[in-house]
Amino acid sequence: MSLTELIITYLINLIFWLWVVRWGGAEWLEGTFTSGFFIHIFAPRWSADGIKLFGYGMILISTVLFIVGIFYPLGFNS
């Protein structure tokens, strides 16, 4: 994966999780089948606060992996 692809993928992921935790996405997804599809298989059982907590964790994990991916790129273009 090129650096451009990595950045674009990270930004799309970040925008989705920010929508979930900051812009009302958790309330919209709470208790729906869609939350199980987009978030986690058990997400329909979670409250909006539980979905937000999961979202903050995913932002943290994806940011760490993004930084690691910048400095230690894995790819088939060796």
- Domain span at residue 26 reads 3-71
Residue 74 predicted with pLDDT over 80: no
Round to whole Å and give the CA distance between 39 and 58. Answer: 10
Longest pairwise C-alpha distance within the chain: 45
User: For residue 77, is it within any domain?
Assistant: no
pLDDT digits (tens, 9 = 90+) for 10-61: 999 999 999 999 999 999 989 888 888 888 888 889 899 999 999 999 999 9
Query: What was the pLDDT predicted at 39?
Result: 86
The structural domain count of the chain equals 1
Tokens describing residue 14: 């970040």
User: For residue 58, is it within any domain?
Assistant: yes
Residue 78 predicted with pLDDT over 60: no
User: For residue 31, is it within any domain?
Assistant: yes
User: For residue 76, is it within any domain?
Assistant: no
User: For residue 10, is it within any domain?
Assistant: yes
Residues in CB range of 15: below 8 A, 6 or more apart: none
Round to whole Å and give the CA distance between 73 and 54. Answer: 26
Asked if 62 and 17 count as a contact pair (C-beta separation under 8 A), the reply is yes
User: For residue 62, is it within any domain?
Assistant: yes
Residue 69 predicted with pLDDT over 80: yes
